[in-house]
Amino acid sequence: MYPAISTGDLVGLPFAHPGKGAEGKVVASIRLAFAARRKSEMLLEAAKRCVEIAIESTEKEAVAHLKDATII
């Protein structure tokens, strides 16, 4: 979509600072979100590998791979 407002105009808009307490909460939430995303990416890759192992070998070996990777 074509933006209705330019980036420069958007950055130039005034806003009220929420305060140090709220700022800390926002920073903590963002850090948790990034950590959750990294973990979900790791789990997705592990799941893909386990499916490959199950197809190429057996489901038992795929589950063993998960246990060895300390994912579950």
Predicted pLDDT at 40: 92
What is d(CA 9, CA 47) in angstroms, rounded to the nearest whole number?
44
pTM for this model (two decimals): 0.64
What is d(CA 65, CA 45) in angstroms, rounded to the nearest whole number?
12
Over residues 30-62, the pLDDT tens digits come to 999 999 999 999 889 988 999 999 999 999 999
Residue 20 has pLDDT above 60, yes or no: yes
What is d(CA 15, CA 26) in angstroms, rounded to the nearest whole number?
16
